[in-house]
Amino acid sequence: MLGRSQHLLSRDGTFRPENLGPKVLAMIGNLCFSLFVFGVLLFTIIAATYKPEDPLFHPSAKINSFLTSDTNATFKSDTTVVKTGEDFMAPNQTAFATFLNMTDVDNAVPEAIGEMEASEVANCTGNPDEPIDCTDPEVFHLLMKAAIEKFKDIHFYRFGKAVRGNYDHSCHMAWRFRPIEGKTAAFYKDYRNFEVARSENCTLSVVRIGGYHSGGNARKKKKHQKGGIEKMIKAQEPANALPVVGEAVNDSLPVVESEGSFSRGKYLLYTPGGDRCKNMNHYLWSFMCALGEAQYLNRTLVMDLNICLSKIYTSSGVDEEGKDFRYYFDFEHLKDSASVLDKGQFWDDWKKWHKKDGLSLHLVEGFKTTPMKLVGVKDTLIMRKFGSVEPDNYWYRVCEGETESVVQRPWHLIWKSRRLMDIVSAISSRLNWDYDSVHIERGEKASNKKLWPNLDADTSPEALLSTLQDKLEDGRNLYIATNEPDTSFFDPLKDKYATHFLDDYKDLWNETSEWYEETMKLNNGNPVEFDGYMRVSVDTEVFLRAKKQIETFNDLTKDCKDGINTCTASS
């Protein structure tokens, strides 16, 4: 929890740029620590009282279908993307109203720099080849203005100070932003290269701004920098913890510091049930139940980060073991905001100390014992042991019946992997956050004329051209999210739109990408496949960030999502 608050409320504290008088600056050092402490407190209170709506009971109309379960049935074999905590944080527009605009930048910087600007100009020799001093406030000001002018479809919330780039006329600068038409609650971080030219009369200008994440030198905030105050300008940001996509991820496994703290702990562990290798909706619905029970009992959840990916998402067509929770979800957020421990680590510690410290185990068979009956249990470990008969061995059955109203699923603890969301952000940024999108579902449904009589014809290129002409302007960037493997099928659309597909962005997960390098580290140095779940996840999230979103069902065809005669009033 500390980690996150620290970078939400960085050491410069939260202040409006217009307050940046010299006296105030001097006071900030002292204020810093108290602000920090206050920030941590505030964050704690918000985290403790914040309850996003439960997706099952408040299905949101816009985003694709979520979970379909009735109390004892299994989940449909559904390849749609799971909704997670951040999807339920309403992007309350008033909370985001205070982005930085040109006036803020103009007001803040000259005040803070004073005479420096004059001396810099006075000393300019008029030699265009002279290196650019990126730390010069005048340059900082210039870069901020250039960024605000160039990127019209995003709002800026913070600028980090500029640093030297990779050559004499290059500066790198980082910022935090949100797309203006954002329907999601996250912040994004970008850092880019700026090429700066000096003319003979000493005027500076930005000649070129590099692509997404091209300014690596500005990426990391220096830790424990002396003096602490970074020359950053910041707008007021909502106090809620929000994902920051593009910030470095630290999702190393939590460690138990000492024997004492391990042996004093109380733990809850579920043995593998029939949920293993089921689809991701099912996995999460079950995992959230276990986490909910652990929180209800004030126990640390001993979790298995090793997950089995259902065959519906694998290229091999069979269930694949050995996937890591961190490929799909934000483990850093989870470990910072809840008490969890990896199973491997737990058993190592248990073996070391259970005899010596007399640690005891309370075994429960399956779901028949409710969490309410376990409140008084004093044993170190409660282990729920699940049998082999489906569906009685599904974890989520623990949360059914009378438990439903007592144990809440803590949705706010689960966010999507920020590494995947960074790919989404890179794609959207390459399209300048100014694109429309259409989701075209074909695959098996298109070939099943019995259940979907019109889908195939309604998603043919000819039909699409005619349906889309009323909905989209000609010449727009159009992102096509689809399960049609042969994208050349959509070639006729190129006459009217600039079409883009997920596979146009393969370099974001290829062997030289950051995603590849980082996931390989999580996998003991072995490469990780960009699997079907990741693909559909990124595809859907890029779709959801488009300005206009056109869905298959309802928008393109009158067929029902789940087959003939399954349309409901709401979907």
Ligand X SMILES: *[C@@H]1O[C@H](CO)[C@@H](O)[C@H](O)[C@H]1NC(C)=O
What residues make contact with ligand X under the rule CB under 6 A? 71-72, 92-94, 101-103, 119-120, 122-123, 199, 201, 203, 250, 252, 297-298, 375, 507, 510-512
Taking the complex as a whole, how short is the minimal distance between the CB of residue 485 and ligand X, in angstroms?
19
CA dihedral (38, 40, 42, 45) positive or negative: negative
Nearer to ligand X, 80 or 85 (CB): 85
Nearer to ligand X, 368 or 558 (CB): 368
Nearer to ligand X, 41 or 375 (CB): 375
Nearer to ligand X, 415 or 497 (CB): 415
Structure tokens at 120: 């810099």
Give the 3-state secondary structure of 54-107.
CCCCCCCCCCCCCCCCCCCCCCCCCCCCCCCHHHHCCCCHHHHCCCECHHHHHH
Provide the H-helix boundaries in 329-460.
331-337, 343-353, 418-430, 443-447, 455-458
Taking the complex as a whole, how short is the minimal distance between the CB of residue 554 and ligand X, in angstroms?
25
Taking the complex as a whole, how short is the minimal distance between the CB of residue 111 and ligand X, in angstroms?
16
Taking the complex as a whole, how short is the minimal distance between the CB of residue 1 and ligand X, in angstroms?
11
Query: How far apart (Å, rounded) are the C-alpha atoms in residues 324 and 371?
Result: 28
Instruction: Find, among 34, 100, 92, the residue nearest to 242 by Cα.
Output: 92
| Cα dist from 127 to 197, 198, 306, 384, whole Å | 11, 8, 59, 74
Taking the complex as a whole, how short is the minimal distance between the CB of residue 447 and ligand X, in angstroms?
28
Amino acid type, 246: G
Taking the complex as a whole, how short is the minimal distance between the CB of residue 404 and ligand X, in angstroms?
13
Nearer to ligand X, 19 or 103 (CB): 103
Task: Name the residue with the smallest CB distance to ligand X.
Answer: 507
- Beta bridge partners of residue 173, listed in sequence order: 192
Helix (H, G, I), strand (E, B) or coil at 135: coil
Query: How far apart (Å, rounded) are the C-alpha atoms in residues 567 and 336?
Result: 41
- DSSP category for residue 416: B
**Which backbone phi and psi does 320 adopt, to 5 degrees?**
-120, 120
Helix (H, G, I), strand (E, B) or coil at 53: coil
Nearer to ligand X, 217 or 339 (CB): 339
Nearer to ligand X, 92 or 469 (CB): 92
Taking the complex as a whole, how short is the minimal distance between the CB of residue 274 and ligand X, in angstroms?
14
Write down the residue that tokens 């009992």 correspond to.
297
Nearer to ligand X, 466 or 510 (CB): 510
Nearer to ligand X, 123 or 570 (CB): 123
Taking the complex as a whole, how short is the minimal distance between the CB of residue 355 and ligand X, in angstroms?
26
Taking the complex as a whole, how short is the minimal distance between the CB of residue 462 and ligand X, in angstroms?
34
- Beta bridge partners of residue 477, listed in sequence order: 498
Amino acid type, 438: V
Query: How far apart (Å, rounded) are the C-alpha atoms in residues 408 and 60?
Result: 19
Taking the complex as a whole, how short is the minimal distance between the CB of residue 318 and ligand X, in angstroms?
26
CB 31 within 8 A of CB 9: no
Structure tokens at 402: 């009378």
Nearer to ligand X, 24 or 375 (CB): 375
**Which backbone phi and psi does 267 adopt, to 5 degrees?**
-130, 155
Beta-strand ranges (E) seen in 491-554 are 498-500, 549-550
